Amino acid sequence: MTGQRAAFRRKQAIMRRVVIGLVLLFFAVPLYGMFSDATKDVAGKHWSLATWRTLLDFPKISTKYPDLKTGFLASVGLAVVTVVVMLVLLVPTMTWVRLRLPGLTRTVEFICLLPLTVPAIVLVVGLTPIYSWLTGWLQYFFGPTIGSSTIWLALAYVVLVLPYAYRALDAGLRAIDVRTLSEAARSLGAGWGTVMWRVVLPNLRTAVLSASFLAVALTLGEFTIANLFSRTNLQVAMYLLGKSDAQISVAVGLLSLVFAFVVLFAMSFVGGARSATSPMTRLRRAKKEPA
């Protein structure tokens, strides 16, 4: 029996390496295409680091393109706000619908998928009156500078993130039995807040992380809406920088991918490896800890 299991593990490991290896190769080839283009001289014949040298000369590039810093800070802010608003809006709603209002499941799902049916260029048409109304109020309360700040775009980004976040969270919710878990917790005297925070959320770790991943990646890569509303985020600033030189535009495209990757990779270490324990064990543990 143990021999059989070891053989199975070996087979599984081989399968894993082959599949991951092949897919990573497919991912790597076009990226290499970009890299090699940015790392050659203008004639494309010899290797050259000139483009990278220009781009990584931070003091020079930040004085020449001050928008880059503005855009960078704006995008980081947008990513944080988008993730927070998205989670606050979606996790309780989806859990609640599952527990108390299953009849609304389809409605919520359709609404969450709706943003994908409306391409961003068209959504901007619809968002125009909303933002001109919103900006009016924001300028009234916070003054013209903060009122027309880039950060308010996060409210629209949350909408863009909905389809991806919904799917990731839904997969997570389907994998755990929310009803049994919450009933168990409720019967042990926990309030709805405790159920959400101490029971549901920890069990959704992978799903929440997946949803946040997509939200961060989408926000850091968002161009269309920021561009059309004439707000400077990272992509808009980098795009403008790329307009100065063809090779820099390629290098910039690659760099923004690397940056987003670093952010996501760092994010993947947040929370630690807790999901190895079973939900019921964690429920018991949660009960023991002071509320």
Contact set for another protein, span 74-93 (CB under 8 A): 89-90, 92-93
Is 104 among the residues that bind another protein (CB under 8 A)?
yes
Cβ distance to another protein smaller for residue 138 or 287: 138
Q: Which stretch binds another protein (CB under 8 A): 52-60, 75-83, 101-109, 283-291?
A: 101-109
Minimum gap (Å) between residue 49 Cβ and another protein: 17
Q: Please state, as a whole number, how many other Cβ atoms lie within 10 Å of the Cβ of residue 186.
A: 15
Cβ distance to another protein smaller for residue 269 or 290: 269
127-156 footprint of another protein as x/- string (CB under 8 A) = xxxx-xx-xxxxxx---xx--x------xx
* Maximum Cα–Cα distance across the chain: 73
**Residue of the chain from 74, 78, 181, 217 that contacts another protein (CB under 8 A):** 217
Is 284 among the residues that bind another protein (CB under 8 A)?
no
Minimum gap (Å) between residue 59 Cβ and another protein: 18
**Residue of the chain from 25, 59, 63, 276 that contacts another protein (CB under 8 A):** 276
Phi and psi at residue 40, in whole multiples of 5°?
Answer: -115, 165
Cβ distance to another protein smaller for residue 108 or 286: 108
Is 268 among the residues that bind another protein (CB under 8 A)?
yes
Minimum gap (Å) between residue 6 Cβ and another protein: 14
**Residue of the chain from 43, 53, 63, 189 that contacts another protein (CB under 8 A):** 43
Q: According to CB under 8 A, which residues from 54 to 73 bind another protein?
A: 67
Is 216 among the residues that bind another protein (CB under 8 A)?
yes
Is the CB of residue 115 less than 8 Å from the CB of residue 252? no
Is 227 among the residues that bind another protein (CB under 8 A)?
yes
Is 189 among the residues that bind another protein (CB under 8 A)?
no
